[in-house]
Amino acid sequence: MEQDKLIKSALISVFDKDGLEPIIRQLDKIGTTLYSTGGTQKFIESLGVKVIPVEDLTSYPSILGGRVKTLHPRVFGGILGRRELASDVAEFEKHEIPPIDLVIVDLYPFEKTVASGAADADIIEKIDIGGISLIRAAAKNFNHVTVIPSKQEYPMLLDIISNQKGKTTIQQRKELANKAFGVSSHYDTQINAYFSGNGQSFEKKVYGAKTLRYGENPHQKATFFGDLEKVFSQLHGKELSYNNLLDIDAAINLMAEFTETTYAVIKHNNACGLASRSSALQAWKDALAGDPVSAFGGIIITNKAVDAETAKEIDKLFFEVFIAPSYDSEALEVLKQKKNRILLKLNPFTFPEKNFRSLLNGVVEQERDWKTDTIADMKQVTKAAPTEQEKTDLEFANKIVKHVKSNTIVLAKNKQLLAAGTGQTSRVDALKQSIEKAKNFGFDLNGGVMASDAFFPFPDCVEIAGKAGIHAVIQPGGSINDKLSIEYCDTNNISMVTTGTRHFKH
């Protein structure tokens, strides 16, 4: 078995040519013999680099409109041949098969073609056959062959051929083989998902594994699978934990609902403080006022740049994580004074279309709750109509209620979260909890609004809320007893709107 292997020959067959030129030029510089076909061959020739057409190697033309090009014993023999076996070497010589030391492939973009809404015939044509076979063959024979299964590995290859004089180590080839089988697995998973569009199977391939400090509790091991760097950049602080990630996920999903300057404090996946204001400093102060006790050790998030003045105020609080799209240099200097404090810079990214989680002996998958109820979605069901300010607050409160654990009630006024009753088995208990919290922190509920994640089966909630000073209510509606709650509101001059959309969160 060879440990270090000099790349003397390479077979290159890629769909996307971006990033390929420096690799071609460096391979040519170190004297590597290049084989290629079709568009890749023409690209290499356009660079003025000598390349041998695969058809010359196989003595057989590309056929069926390019569907069959590399599927030939002289190609796959050169990849799969075991150099340490005398019998394989003898067959190389007998059949005039040149050994191939490097295989570079970039597969047809099947996944992107499906996502584009292309016709079935176009999607089928983007199922790569030769490329995936080359990847698997080269990966299998990693003892002798280096495989580059996608553009993501181009930097690693360029480093090897530039700084290691074209020699690969067995460790590098095995690492690339592992990545190759990952690419192959993901590719087949996407094809399978396309053909079983009726959802009869569940398969996901998520790249990247990060071992966490521990799981939900210290005695539990945990790993995050995915690419966190696409979501945020960590600027400072200790390693993220499992619970940190859960709170970060909740915080980012919640903040995506707001465009006005907003600050929020998250604790155990729920908002304990949130306010939208014209200034960042005031937004922070009013968010913290929502529950300064729970804010201790929580997660802070904002949707605007963090300035030094606001950072100095925030620095007075002990918190675990701060998430923002950017930080002023002076603000960073202030916030970095605590060595374990985690500071994250949020990157623009797209939320997955669906959520999934393990359940019993399987997995449950559902579409994301994309629905955000606006003032336009509100249907007035009472004689009294909410004022313009109350409509704004109802919309504000309903954005929060969507992201709080059920059963939940949210109380708000002047675009400030006054209190939330979270994760209660009874909606009445959630309401009582929120009223008690609001009063404990000195809020006046008179003129405030109430949002509920689900309908009211009885009028008890609107009665309790009305007596506490709530003037306007938003809820999905849909109970057979809706009229009882509406009648109470009409009798007591409380306005109520329905949205027709429930927002349970478990």
| Catalytic annotation, residues | 140, 268
Contact status, residue 342 vs residue 362, Cβ threshold 8 Å: no
Report the alpha-carbon distance of residue 229 to residue 234 in Å, rounded. Answer: 8
Report the alpha-carbon distance of residue 169 to residue 107 in Å, rounded. Answer: 25
Crossing angle of helices 482-491 and 460-468, in 10° steps, is 30
Q: Checking phi first, is residue 201 left (phi over 0); if not, alpha (psi -120 to 50) or beta?
A: beta
Encode 99-108: b = buried (16+ Cβ within 10 Å), e = exposed. bbbbbbbbbb
Q: How many CA atoms lie within 13 A of 92 on its CB side?
A: 15
Range 390-396, long-range pairs (CB < 8 A, 24+ positions): 390/449, 390/471, 390/472, 390/495, 391/497, 393/448, 393/449, 393/472, 394/449, 394/451, 394/472, 394/473, 394/474, 394/497, 395/474, 396/276
Phi, psi of 382 (to 5 degrees): -115, 165
Those residues with Cβ within 8 angstroms of residue 128's Cβ, 6 or more apart along the chain or in another chain: 15, 107, 108, 110, 187
Report the alpha-carbon distance of residue 174 to residue 140 in Å, rounded. Answer: 9
Q: Please name which of 321, 475, 302 lies closest in space to residue 398, comparing C-alpha atoms.
A: 475
